[in-house]
Amino acid sequence: MNRFAFAFLCLLALSPALGQEVFYFDTYHPNDNMAHEVFGLEVMEEDKEYSVQIEGTYSIWVPQYWSDPCGQKEATPLFPSVEGHRTGDVGMDMEFIYSLPTSSLCSQRTLPYRRDRIELSLDNGNTWFHPTSDGGYQADHIYTYRFTGKGFPLGIRHTSEQNSDDYGQFKLRINPISTQPPVSTIDTTMCKTQMITLHPRKRGTSYAWQDGSTDSSFVARDSGFYTVTIVSSADTTTEHYAVRIINCPCLDYIPNAFSPNGDGLNDVFGLSPWCNLPGYRLDIFNRWGERVYRTRSISASWDGEYMGRPCLPGVYMFMIHYKGEAGEDFVRSGTFLLQFH
């Protein structure tokens, strides 16, 4: 039986979204010491980028077989071996073993620990490799990788040493990553003394920024282009950001203290009247969060009074709202000291 015919017997294909392939890999194999392998049905085009998400199996051992430090049992079995096949006694995902039965005396291991028995192939089984992500152990047993196609379906195999190490099924989701130029780029502007946090417009199960970081947001400190690849249950998309730094001299010289004592020095708090900030609004709050001053006039300043009476000396918070060159909203906030000597 050839490899592609064998794949039809070993995997269960679903009805994925356009351009997406989903299949299951059952690690069970009746022969000891034999690498059990399965190939997908869709060709990963040569030189095209793909996102591959692999979700690990959950052990189906009942609670009486578990105890700390042998690992935490899963609340609900997920992806057990298909009917007629055994599901192994060890909880395993793509990169880690995360639970063991007490009968094994936990193998004197601290869980979770890495194993490399699950391997992938991009070249029709000529070479195999075990990928390793940078994020460490994932409690949901989902790991996402990025590969370049070589003109063949994705292959996966389990190099089991013995049948007792067979664990159940793995779920694979393969999404092509678009390499077309972006239809639009999210453009934003910040002052040279600022940093800005980029939040993807689309929610996903995993994120990959241009520098390899995998957080759901990214802090930009310099001008340039930023990208994030977002993997969701439906597809994989990429968002692009263009960050420009502009000079904001008005915001570079916000006072950190003022003393409204009539001596002609630092008697008011505000920006220079020659500043030009579209959409300008200044709010000032006391230590209890009560707003004591608001103005929309760049030429107006606070004299330290609220409802006609001097405020208590101490630390106050300011928030300056304004609009950037492209009409985007910005907020600069900070604290300053009010004193009367």
pLDDT at 130 over 70: yes
CA-nearest of 309, 316, 249, 326 to 282 is: 316
Amino acid at site 130: H
Q: So what's the pLDDT on residue 248?
A: 63
- Cα–Cα separations (whole angstroms), residue 207 to 174, 201, 273: 15, 12, 44
Give residue-wise pLDDT tens across range 229-266.
Answer: 998 877 888 888 887 766 666 776 788 888 888 877 78
Q: So what's the pLDDT on residue 5?
A: 31
Rounded to the nearest integer, the mean pLDDT of the chain is: 77
Q: Which residues contact 46 (CB under 8 A, 6 or more apart)?
A: 149, 150, 151
The answer to whether the beta carbons of residues 244 and 188 sit under 8 Å apart is yes
Give residue-wise pLDDT tens across range 313-338.
Answer: 999 999 888 887 667 777 788 889 99
Give residue-wise pLDDT tens across range 167-205.
Answer: 678 889 998 876 544 444 565 666 665 677 888 888 888
Give the span between the Cα atoms of 93 and 206, in whole angstroms: 17
Q: What is the CA radius of gyration of the chain?
A: 29
Pairing of strands 196-198, 218-220: antiparallel
pLDDT at 160 over 80: no
What letter would DSSP give residue 288? T
Q: Is the dihedral of CA 79, 81, 84, 88 positive or negative?
A: negative
Q: Which CATH number is associated with domain 249-338?
A: 2.60.40
The ranges of the chain annotated as CATH 2.60.40.10 are 186-246
186-246 adopts what CATH topology? Immunoglobulin-like (2.60.40)
* This prediction's pTM: 0.49
pLDDT at 32 over 70: no
Give residue-wise pLDDT tens across range 202-237.
Answer: 888 899 998 888 998 898 888 788 889 998 877 888
Q: So what's the pLDDT on residue 17?
A: 41
